[in-house]
Amino acid sequence: MGCVQVRENVYIRLGRRSMCDNCSAELCVYNKGQRVTECDRFTPAIVAFKKCVCCGDIFEVSANFQAIDYDRCMKCNGHDELCVRA
């Protein structure tokens, strides 16, 4: 589990195993019991957005469940270069 700070006193717990762990669907016929990393039908229980500290893009927190750094978007978590924060 990962814990993401969205506001000063608001945190969201994210399951890191599969995207389905963070989905609001109670019964999904598309989940075959395996690890899901991408899903067109993903619907988060709580919609929360953050601004990436690296590139400035706005991203949805629950879709970024595999992130190493929850303050960076999926694109910036994917590259090896360090972000320069000005």
pLDDT digit string (tens) for 36-73?
A: 888 888 888 788 899 998 888 999 888 788 788 888 88
- Evaluate if pTM is beyond 0.75: no
81: left (phi over 0), alpha (psi -120 to 50) or beta: beta
Separation between Cα atoms, residue 86 and residue 31, nearest integer Å: 42
Residue from 29, 52, 50 nearest 39 by CA? 29
Residue from 44, 42, 41, 38 nearest 14 by CA? 44
Residue 84 confidence (pLDDT) above 70: no
